[in-house]
A and B are shown apart, each in its own frame.
Chain A
Amino acid sequence: MNDKKQLLSAEQVDFLTEMMNIGAGNTATALTQVLQCPVDIVLPRVFVIADAQELSILTSPSLPVVCVRMNMVGDVSGGLFLIVPEEQKEDLIRLAEQAMTGTGQSWRAGITNSKADDLKLSVIAEIGNIVAGVYLTAVHDFCKLNIYHTVPTVATDMVQALLDESLVRLSRQVQHIIVIENEFMVEEKLIKTFLVMIPSVESVDILVNSIGQARIAMVKDGG
């Protein structure tokens, strides 16, 4: 299995982490506006995983989560997922509701339960939309790559069950998964999310080369 040569070097992973730090900072700003309360960010941890099986290092494969699935299109194609552990879903939704109604009173009053669940999930989908947009902007600013994301779809289930199809489909040969673990502090609650980028086989080279070049450019600029 020598076809894993495209793995990022340690320096490149550091650079990627720095890029994602900027993304995380901007995410905190965006969420502060959306949720209308201060959102503090704990610096993100970035993992570059070479094999789908290694995902189990990060979480238990059967962890119940809400997962927002998008696709990346443009210079880099592939899958993009925002994952929120199920136990934090309600916190996030409550904060979003507060911001929307301004009172903390539910705007779902009078709506049947099953419809209310759909609405709750669409709140998470919208947060996924925002977070993905902010991170892809950070990638654009550093690497000059234009990546867009498609309309999100949401599902709730075990984390590995939700990801396995995309992992299999997008990484038949070279496997290269970028996982950004984010922790946000909102009203003294810690909300943990994972942003998972699975570049398609055709895009991995483009992404890795761009990260490499952007890092060199930055090292030169910095002196």
Chain B
Amino acid sequence: MQNKIEVTMGGGAVTAAPHIISSSGLGSCVVVTLYDTERKLGGLAHIMLPDSISLNGSHPAYKCADTAITTLIKELRSMRASPRNMVAKLVGGAKMFLSSDDFGPCIGEQNIISVKRILKRRRIPVIAENTGSNYGRSVEFYLDSGKVMVRAIGREDKEI
């Protein structure tokens, strides 16, 4: 029995093969998938912000890049996954409107830079990504293979 877990903006989930984790409507948000290639366990976070420093008080763990990745790794470890076997994939971080520079540098790019820096520090390689540009994306993460399917309106589906 294959279950599909839908993750909303600012949310996250971990599960094992043969299930699927999906998330839709990514613009500047970034989806990070972590996958333990040995045990076929993985997690997905739909990250909204590059860091949690600017947030006062508590916030959902998966909302910000730093806390989201820490939480994913912790959750996966509790399922006996090993960070040494983990690989990451990134999707999203687009700039949807041409003139969205009125409030400073674009969030999508900041999100990607931040996620990559954190993963590097954790020594988790980014083995594939579909990021940037100016269109929205939806993702499906297949835990049996670790593949991530990226869908966008008016574009062919892309497997990374």
A residues whose Cβ falls under 8 Å from a Cβ of B: 1-3, 52-53, 55-56, 60-62, 64, 69, 71, 150, 153, 155-170, 172-173
> Contacts A61-B9, A162-B27 given; 5 further ones with Cβ under 8 A?
A52-B48, A69-B100, A157-B27, A161-B136, A164-B9
Across the interface, which residues of A come within 8 angstroms of B153, CB to CB?
64, 156-158
CA distance A56 to B134 in the complex (A): 22
B102, A157: Cβ atoms closer than 8 Å: no
Between A and B, how many residue pairs show CB distances below 8 Å? Answer: 100
Taking the closest CB of chain A, its distance from the CB of B89, in whole angstroms, is 18
How many residues on the B side are at the interface (Cβ–Cβ under 8 A)?
37
Of residues 65 to 120 in B, which have CB atoms within 8 Å of A's CB atoms?
A: 94-100, 102-104, 106-108
Taken residue by residue from 9 to 21, chain B's Cβ proximity to chain A (1 for < 8 Å, 0 otherwise) reads as 1110000000000
Across the interface, which residues of B come within 8 angstroms of A168, CB to CB?
28-29, 48-49, 107
B2 within 8 A of A: no
One of B10, B29, B59, B136 near A157 (C-beta < 8 A): B136
A172, B10: Cβ atoms closer than 8 Å: no
A-B CB proximity, top 5 nearest: A161-B136, A160-B25, A61-B25, A161-B27, A165-B28
| Subset of 18 A-B contacts with CB under 8 Å | A53-B11, A55-B9, A61-B25, A64-B153, A153-B97, A157-B153, A160-B25, A160-B26, A161-B94, A162-B136, A164-B9, A164-B27, A165-B28, A165-B97, A165-B107, A168-B28, A168-B49, A169-B104
